[in-house]
Chain A
Amino acid sequence: MSFDVLMPESEDELLTLLMSENAKIMAGGTDILVRIRAGKIKPEKIISLSKVRGMDEIIDKGDRIYIGCKVTHSAALSSEILKEHSPIMLMALREIGSPQIRNRGTIVGNIVNASPAGDSIIPLYLSNARVVISGPKGEYKLPIEEFIKGPGKTALSIGEFVRAVEFEKSGSWYPLFYKVGQRTAMAIAIASIGLLVKDNNLRIAFGSVAPTVVRAYKAERYFERNNGNIAVMDEFIELCMEYISPIDDVRASAWYRKEVIKNLLRDTFNSLRKKVL
């Protein structure tokens, strides 16, 4: 394991370094260093964000929240803005790893890692997030669903980095987040589900059951058409299952994942009916 570690201090310096070949950007390192150790990637240079000034802001932008690329899970968890305006995000962040991982790992690192199991990605899908990209051509935004292309794949081009993520406030929605893991929070999810409900509106997303996190738009519309009364639960579940294409892997079989999701959905809506529906 040999590589250079570069520690730019400004955004300009960072953008220049990003043009070099076989260089990888690193925030908390909780994903990338593990992959380097496992020999899965062999970058020659690591560009660490640790000395770059700023970029750790959480800003209230009216109907949206802006989170800089150096914001750790722990910092986000203690943010008053998020507590008030995005309880669903806090529910998801609490499920990530351990305190050690949350103290170093970042939300933007979680996004760029583009794992279908990424816990913070679910609330971001539910909150119509936009990824703020900075690069040689300046800054632009992409909806998170266009940014994440597949497991570990994003729309990021050479020379670009993710400056921040921006997403809708959801303080007036009822949030739910469930994660089925093997060894409580340390486990990467076998399957997870997040949802937001307000009156007859529903937003619902799943993790670990397809190549990326998915949002079940058809099921959302079915819910709305029925004014929040899901007359036929099986039909609702079938619409959700259209988005689900689980795989067999070391953590669980595809069949098991499907059954988990169906049961999760039934349990979720039973408890929702008691509380809000």
Chain B
Amino acid sequence: MMLELTVNGRVHSVEINPGEMLLDVLRRLGYKSVRRSCDNASCGNCTVLLDGKPILSCTTFAARATGHKIETVESLEKDGILHPIQESLLETGGAQCGFCIPGFALTAKALLEENPEPTEEEIREALNGNLCRCTGYESQIRAILNITHKRGGLSND
């Protein structure tokens, strides 16, 4: 069946089979930032934003996403300038191998849009579904805290 998907503001017409997952279709369209690891709703690496809310593309039918706005991490960098979340992750060393980062960055973006000054506990809660094999999470949590401290005018420790 033919499907229209709006990804990062761009409309794609794609041929899919009805049971295909959004993850497979996005990767086929070239959005390789959308990562597959568990393929079973457990790791968060395949997270994309659907109308601004994080969802798991490995277990969402592509057909379900028509008529909605999909965002992948490709949309975060604009004209060579990284998103504050990406900058902050670089500063704190929150990205090691980087595999989990697209899902992490999108989940964090949705959190900050909903709650611009989250507490450490709220950050941990929001990122609960994004697994990382490398960092032990501390540097990732700090990356988000640093952004909120900058916004709140607090010292950037």
Contact = CB atoms under 8 A, between A and B. Distances in A.
Q: 7 tightest A-B contacts by CB?
A: A98-B129, A5-B18, A33-B59, A98-B128, A103-B53, A50-B64, A100-B129
B128 A185 contact: yes
Nearest to A32: B59
Interface of B: 18-19, 39-42, 44, 47, 50, 53-56, 59-61, 63-64, 107, 110-111, 125-126, 128-130
19 contacts: A2-B19, A4-B18, A5-B61, A5-B63, A29-B61, A30-B59, A50-B63, A99-B53, A99-B111, A100-B41, A100-B55, A100-B129, A101-B56, A103-B53, A103-B54, A103-B55, A184-B128, A185-B125, A186-B128
Given A103-B53, A184-B128, A186-B128, A48 B61 contact: yes
Contacts of A30: 41, 56, 59
A97 B40 contact: no
A236 to B, nearest CB: 33
Interface in A24-68: 29-30, 33-34, 37-38, 46, 48, 50
Given A74-B53, A185-B125, 14 more contacts: A1-B19, A2-B19, A29-B59, A30-B41, A33-B41, A34-B59, A37-B39, A37-B40, A50-B63, A99-B110, A100-B41, A101-B56, A104-B55, A184-B128
Nearest to A105: B41
B19 A4 contact: yes
A101 B60 CA distance: 11
Given A5-B18, A97-B129, A38 B40 contact: yes
A3 interface: yes
Contacts of A3: 19
A29 B19 contact: no
A98 B44 contact: yes
Of B41, B54, B130, chain A has the most CB atoms within 10 Å of the CB of: B41
A48 B21 CA distance: 13
Task: Give the interface SS of chain B, mostly helix, strand, loop or mixed.
Answer: mixed
Contacts of A46: 19
B107 A100 contact: yes
A7 interface: yes
A185 B122 CA distance: 13
Nearest to B130: A98
A99 B54 contact: yes
Contacts of B130: 98
Of A1, A5, A97, chain B has the most CB atoms within 10 Å of the CB of: A5
Nearest to A31: B41
A1 B39 CA distance: 13
B64 A48 contact: yes
Given A3-B19, A184-B128, A104 B60 contact: yes
B136 to A, nearest CB: 14
A2 B21 CA distance: 12
B40 A100 contact: no
A100 B42 CA distance: 10
Given A5-B18, A38-B40, A100-B55, A29 B60 contact: yes
Nearest to B47: A100
A5 B18 CA distance: 6
B19 A101 contact: no
A186 B39 CA distance: 16
A8 to B, nearest CB: 13
B41 A34 contact: yes
A34 B40 contact: yes
Contacts of B61: 5, 29, 48, 50
B90 to A, nearest CB: 24
Contacts of B39: 37
Of B40, B55, B59, B126, chain A has the most CB atoms within 10 Å of the CB of: B59
